[in-house]
Amino acid sequence: MLDIKMEKTNHPKPKPDQDQLGFGLYFTDHMFIMDYIEGQGWHDPRIVPYAPLILDPSTMVFHYGQAIFEGLKAYKTKHGRILLFRPQKNMERINLSNDRICIPPIDTGLAVEAIKAIVEVDKDWIPEAEGTSLYIRPFIIATDPFLGVRPSYTYKFIIILSPVGAYYPEGIDPVKIFVENKYVRAVKGGTGFAKTPGNYAASLKAQVEAKEKGYTQVLWLDGVERKYIEEVGTMNVFFKINGKVITPMLEGSILPGITRDSTISLLKDWGVEVIERKISIQELYEAHAQGRLEEAFGTGTAAVISPIGELNWEGNKIVINEGKTGDLSAKIYNTITGIQKGDIEDKYGWTVEVN
Ligand SMILES: *Cc1c(COP(=O)(O)O)cnc(C)c1O
């Protein structure tokens, strides 16, 4: 058992209006922190009042970006139970990311206990309105005050919580996506499979330019040939072509999404053929031209399922499923969110109860 020290705030904050949450704007009263020192390992797990961190300006994370993060959600059911969705998977992925960024591994069981503990402390912050949840953001930063380039000897593992509404203001409505042909996100051998801030820093320019053109996100192509589809900004991507579902295979440049994994399991269970393979943007456009591209959607914790209504590749725009949410996209969304909220029986053992 994790022995977590507890220091509760004397100044609880007012809670935000549940209809105006947005994404990532509000933070709860407490946070979890645990330190790492080489030779001593991870130690001093504690829950303390949410507050700014005081860090030396030379702290390594500011200079070389040695950091990783995660994202998952807690939900309150109709009957007041608090559910996490596949938290063990997120904690396993932390270690996958850690390994790539030279951060020492964490004990995944302890990390899940830490998540349960901090969610329990701030459980009154879990919103209950339709489409809302408590977003959980664990992250690790390198904390040596040092300007040389090497892995840090010290780290902090922190968990903060944010009550959130729908990720996209459009909700489950289809989004317009710009197929990025100038910038690339990741290459094999790089850090594409790791959830690390540097990948996002590298993606911002493309995102800003796509926004200026009226698109919600970019669809990344492979970094070598700019030919094969990789993923959308914060989501993995799926295409329904001729009744079969195709998603890019994980080859090291794509983030191994947990919503992706859940979606594949559901589809297989429903008898829908799912193929993980390379798919070129050319092939996708040809399928559309032949009337075989039935649905396209992104998967990720924040939005769960985000249907794609339009793509723009080098000025060639295609509208998918008349710009409407497809039946399969809607079914996956309803099933995953139903399981997350405890409204649909969880026969997969995905949900984990807090306490
Ligand atoms: C987090 C993330 C995803 C989605 O992963 P989930 O585990 O489903 O939330 C997809 N792509 C990128 C780049 C991500 O950072």
Distance 149 CA to ligand 1 centre (A): 28
- The predicted structure's pLDDT at residue 1: 54
CATH of 5-165, one of 3.40.50.800, 3.30.470.10, 3.40.50.1820, 3.90.1150.10: 3.30.470.10
Distance 180 CA to ligand 1 centre (A): 18
User: Which atom of ligand 1 is closest in space to residue 195's alpha carbon?
Assistant: 15
Distance 275 CA to ligand 1 centre (A): 19
- Name which residue sits closest to atom 6 of ligand 1, judged by CA: 257
Q: How many CB atoms lie within 10 A of CB 110?
A: 17
Structure tokens at 33: 């922190």
Q: In degrees, to the nearest 5, what angle opens at C-alpha 300 toward C-alphas 247 and 311?
A: 60
In percent, how much of the chain has pLDDT > 70? 98
- For the chain, the helix, strand and coil percentages under 3-state DSSP, each to the nearest 5: 25, 30, 45
Structure tokens at 276: 């993980």
Closest CA to 179 of 118, 150, 222, 139: 222
- CA neighbours closer than 13 Å in the CB half-sphere of residue 58: 7
Residue with token string 């932390």: 94
Q: Is 335 a residue whose pLDDT tops 70?
A: yes
User: Which atom of ligand 1 is closest in space to residue 90's alpha carbon?
Assistant: 7
Q: Is 237 a residue whose pLDDT tops 90?
A: yes
Identify which of 235, 299, 306 to mutate to test ligand 1's pocket (most ligand atoms within 8 A of the CB): 235
Q: Is 84 a residue whose pLDDT tops 80?
A: yes
Distance 87 CA to ligand 1 centre (A): 14
Classify 265 as helix, strand or coil.
Answer: helix
User: Which atom of ligand 1 is closest in space to residue 199's alpha carbon?
Assistant: 13
> Across the chain, what does the average pLDDT equal?
96
What is the Cα–Cα distance from 218 to 208, expressed in whole angstroms? 10
pLDDT tens by residue, 119-171: 999 999 999 988 899 999 999 999 999 999 999 999 999 999 999 997 655 55
Does domain 175-339 sit in CATH 1.10.10.10?
no
Identify which of 89, 195, 204, 263 to mutate to test ligand 1's pocket (most ligand atoms within 8 A of the CB): 195
In the beta sheet, which residues pair with residue 46? 5, 33
Contact 22, 164 (CB under 8 A): yes
Identify which of 84, 177, 236, 253 to mutate to test ligand 1's pocket (most ligand atoms within 8 A of the CB): 236
Region 300-323 average pLDDT: 96
Identify which of 88, 207, 255 to mutate to test ligand 1's pocket (most ligand atoms within 8 A of the CB): 255
The pTM of this model reads 0.96
In percent, how much of the chain has pLDDT > 90? 94
Name all residues whose Cβ lies below 6 A of ligand 1: 71, 195, 231, 234-236, 255, 257-260, 299-301
Distance 282 CA to ligand 1 centre (A): 24
* Domain limits, CATH 3.30.470.10, in the chain: 5-165
Place 46 in a pLDDT band, splitting at 50, 70 and 90. Answer: very high
User: Which atom of ligand 1 is closest in space to residue 302's alpha carbon?
Assistant: 9
Strands (DSSP E) found in 38-88:
41-49, 67-69, 72-76, 82-85
Place 172 in a pLDDT band, splitting at 50, 70 and 90. Answer: confident
* Domain limits, CATH 3.20.10.10, in the chain: 175-339
- The predicted structure's pLDDT at residue 170: 55
Region 275-287 average pLDDT: 98
Rounded to the nearest 10 degrees, the angle between the axes of helix 258-269 and helix 87-101 is 130
